[in-house]
Structure 1
C-alpha cells in the first residue's frame, strides 16, 4: 500500500511504494541488496527539512529514525561515533551528558546528523566550517550493498567526496565526530541600521565567535545575533523567553504571515513592523541549547554560498532589485559566514564564505522573487545549498565546483546501478532518467 509523504514546507510530495525503518547496519545492507536485485530505487529521509526533492522517492523510502543514539564515546580524545539517524537536538543532549559538544551548529536542530552533513548544512562563524567539517569518520552502505568505513587517514580522497554527498554514494549508517568539551555562550540580540551594519560587516564577523544578521525587505533596521563563549552562569529560563521565542517569533509572526498571504500588499508595512519588533536581550546557556531557534511558521527557502567579501555588495544589489520589482515578501533575509574547506561538494569549497538565505511564507508565490535573487547570487560566484531551492543543473554545477567530475566518478563507482538516484538527482548529475 502506497503512503503519501511530504517535506517540512509542503513544497515536495511523493508517494513511495514502501517506507522501511531498519534498526541495524545488517538490515540496511539487506534493503540495498533487495533494491538492487529487484531493480528498485531508494532514497533515505531524515526529517524532510530539505526544500528540494532530494529525499523524494516514488519507490523505496528509508528512514533511519530507529538508528539513533551514541555508539561509542572517547571522552579523552573528545570524539564520538553516533548512529546516522540521530537528530541534532537529541545528539546535543546526549553529548552534553558526556561533557562534550559540537563546536558549531546551524539554527535548526530537528535534522538527522546524516542529513545535515550530506547537504552541507552550516551555522555561522568565521572560524568554523559547515557541520561536515566536524566529521572524522564515516560508515556507509554503498549502492552495491557493501559496508565501507572511511576516514581522512584510510581514504583521504574518497573521504572528502563522502563528507557532503547528497545521499548519492550510499546510506550513511554511522558518523564519527570531532568534538570539544561542553561550553557556555552569551547570546545577544541587537538592532541597528542596515546601512551602518553593511560598513561594519567584516569587523562584526571578525570580532565575535558567531555573528549573523537578519534584515527585512523594505525595512531600514536589521537584527544582529551575536554569540561568544563565556564562563558566566546560565541564565534562568524566564517567561519572557517563551514570549520571545514562541509567542512573538512564531505565533504573532504566523498571524502576520497569514495576513500577507491573503492581502499581499500588506507585505511591505508588515515587513517594516516586524523589523521594529525583534526582541532585544541577552542570555547565557550551554551551546547546544543556544544555536537552534524554534521554527513553527513554515516557509520555502533558497540559500546561496558566496565569497565572504561579496556580502555587502550582494545585499545592496538585492535591496535595489527589491525596490524596483516590489516583490510581495515580508520574511527576513538571513546572512551568515563560514570558513572555507576542502570537501568536494561543499558550497564553501576553497573559499571563506558568506551565506545569504531568502524565504517566502508557505502558500505564497516565490518563483519570481527567488529567480531574481538567484541571478544576483550567480553573478557573484554563488553556489547553492544542497537542501535549499535553486534552478541549477549538472552543466552549471560542473563550472562552480572544481571537484565535480571527481565526485561524479565516485558516484558511479559506489552506486553503479543508480539505485540511489531519483529524478531530481538524475537531473542534478546529468544522468539519463531511468524508469522505475
Structure 2
C-alpha cells in the first residue's frame, strides 16, 4: 500500500497542470544538418538500437522537398521521411546504416486551401491532426473520423493507416477521406531525379499511396473530403463483462463512434456510447483526455520508480491493488471530458466534432522548462511502455474475446498490468480499398503494458501478454497495426493483405531503386528477410517467438513453454508456487 500513495498523489496533482514542455524533436544532428539520429516519441525502437543517418533536410516548400528527394536519388542514398513527433513504434523512419538521409516534414505544416462549398481541405503532410480539424471547423466543416491523439501528422496518419472507431459510412480510417494527394518520388536523371505525382480519386495508385508505410516517397500535400460540422453526444457506462463477447460483435453497429475498454482483472467493460446529434443540440463539451495532458515530471519519475519496485519485488496482490487506482481516478474525473470546456456536470457530454474527436494538450501547452511533459517524454525516466495493436475480422471477434476471457480465468491476477494501463481498448474499423488498409470489417485491439528500461529483463506474467498476441495473430488471423507492435507481430503480416502484391507493383514503379525502402520495410512487406531478430532473450523483448530456452532467461527461471490456453503459442514462462496467503488479501479487497 505504501507504493500506492505516491501514485495517487501524482495522478491527482498531474491532471490539473496547465503548462508542459512539448516533446523533443525526433531528428537530432551534431553538426548542423549532418551526423544525425532519428528516434520515435518514446526514445526507443523495439530493438533498442540507435538509428543514424549521414544528414537531414528540413524542406519548407514542395520545391525544397523535390530537391531533397532528388539529392538522395542522385547519390543513390537511402532516405526516409520523419514526422514532427514520430509516433510510430517500429523503425518506419529509419533509413538504415549510417549513410542515409532523413527528410523531415516538420516545416511542411501549412493549410494550402479550404473549399467550403466543395467541402474539401488541402494541407501539407506535416500538418498535425489538431491543426487540420481546427482549420476545418473554422470553415464550418468536420473531418468525420480520426485517431484519439491529435499529435499525429497527416503524413504519419496515412503511412500507418491510423483510425478512430466506426463501422458507419466509410468507416473510421482517416485515409478513407483522402480524395487527392501529391507525392514526391525518385525519378531518372532525365527527369531531374525526382518528380511530383498528383493522384486523385479514381486513380488506382491512390489505393497504394494512402497507406504506404513511407516506402513510395514523401507526401507533399493531401486533400480531404469533409462533412458539414456536427455535434456528438458521449457517455461512458461501466458494466460487468458477463456478456462482453456478445457485445463486441454488435457494439460498432449500435453507436457510430462507439468503442469498448476491457478491465480483465476487475471483470468490467467500459462502453463508450458515442453518436452524432443535430448541430442545434445544446452543449459545448470538450474532450481533454487525462492521459494526453501534461504531467509533472517529478511525479512521472516517482511513479515509474514505484512501478519498477512493484515489477521487480512486489507480489501479485500488491500489483493488483495498485492497478485499481488509475481506472478509478479516470472515471472519477470523467476521463477528461467537460460539458463546457471547464466543468463536468454529468453525462452525456455534447460538443462539436472538433472538440470531441481527439485531444493531446501536452504537445501545445506553454513551455515550462521540463517541469511537466507528456507522460512518455523520453528525456525523463518516466513511464516506459509497449503498445501493441492488432485487428481481428468482425465475425471472429466474439470468439477471440471468449478466448481472452478463458485465458484471464486461468490466472486473473496475471492481467492486472492491463487494468493499470486502463484496459484493452477495442475500436471498429471498416474494410478499405487501400492495398495495405484493413482487408475486412474488424475490431482493433489496443493494449499498453510495462516495458523495462533494461534490455532483456523479464516481466512478471509476460507470458500471458505474449500468448494473447500470438493467439490473435495465429489462431484468429489478426493483422498488426503498422505503427505499433514489437517485431514478431509483423512476421508474415504482408501475406494477410490480399492486395499487398498490387502495392509492391506500385512501389517498384515509383521507386525502382528502393531509395525509400529499408531492411525493416523489406522484411515487413515480405520482400526479403524476416522481422524476427533471433538471439539470447529475444522473446523477452518481443523480437522473436521463442523456440529455445535461450530466447527467454533460463538463468532467471524463464523457459520457453507452450501457451496455457493456446498451446501453439511459445512463450517465456516462469513457474510460481508461492501462495499469496491471508485469503489472497480478501481477493485484493
> So what's the TM-score if we normalise by structure 1?
0.89
Alignment partner, residue 361 of structure 1: 450
Alpha-carbon RMSD = 2.9
The answer to whether the aligner puts 1:132 opposite 2:183 as a matched pair is no
1:337 is displaced (CA, Å) by: 0.8
Correspondences of 1:112-261 after superposition (within 5 Å): 112-127=153-168, 128-144=171-187, 145-153=194-202, 155=203, 157-230=204-277, 231-235=280-284, 246=293, 258-261=305-308
Q: 1:284 to 1:394 in 2, by over 3 A?
A: closer
1:272 is displaced (CA, Å) by: 3.4
Q: 1:242 to 1:382 in 2, by over 3 A?
A: closer
Q: 1:431 to 1:143 in 2, by over 3 A?
A: farther
1:401 is displaced (CA, Å) by: 0.9
Q: 1:344 to 1:101 in 2, by over 3 A?
A: same
The answer to whether the aligner puts 1:303 opposite 2:389 as a matched pair is yes
Larger Rg: 2
Q: 1:426 aligns with which of 522, 536, 552?
A: 522
- Partner SS for 1:106: coil
Work out the CA distance in 1 between the residues paired with 2:484 and 2:154: 17
The answer to whether the aligner puts 1:92 opposite 2:133 as a matched pair is yes
Q: 1:70 aligns with which of 101, 108, 111?
A: 111
Q: 1:16 to 1:244 in 2, by over 3 A?
A: closer
1:103 is displaced (CA, Å) by: 0.6
The answer to whether the aligner puts 1:29 opposite 2:62 as a matched pair is no
Work out the CA distance in 1 between the residues paired with 2:62 and 2:86: 22
Alignment partner, residue 80 of structure 1: 121
1:170 is displaced (CA, Å) by: 1.1
Gaps of 5+ in 1: none
Work out the CA distance in 1 between the residues paired with 2:269 and 2:212: 35
Q: 1:334 aligns with which of 425, 430, 447?
A: 425
Q: Deviations over 1:174-208 (max 9, x none)?
A: 10101011122122122111223433334432221
Alignment partner, residue 45 of structure 1: 82
Work out the CA distance in 2 between the residues paired with 1:394 and 1:358: 16
Work out the CA distance in 2 between the residues paired with 1:129 and 1:245: 21
Q: 1:307 to 1:237 in 2, by over 3 A?
A: closer
Q: 1:149 to 1:352 in 2, by over 3 A?
A: same
Q: Deviations over 1:347-379 (max 9, x none)?
A: x22x21110011113537677555322211121
Correspondences of 1:354-433 after superposition (within 5 Å): 354-363=443-452, 368=463, 370-378=465-473, 379-391=475-487, 396-431=492-527
Q: Which has the higher helix share?
A: 1
Equivalenced residue count is 427
- Stretch moving more, 225-234 or 123-132: 225-234
- Stretch moving more, 270-279 or 128-137: 270-279
The answer to whether the aligner puts 1:54 opposite 2:92 as a matched pair is yes
Gaps of 5+ in 2: 1-30, 188-193, 335-345, 363-373, 377-384, 530-589
- Partner SS for 2:243: helix
Q: 1:431 to 1:401 in 2, by over 3 A?
A: closer
Work out the CA distance in 1 between the residues paired with 2:302 and 2:239: 25
Alignment partner, residue 11 of structure 1: 44
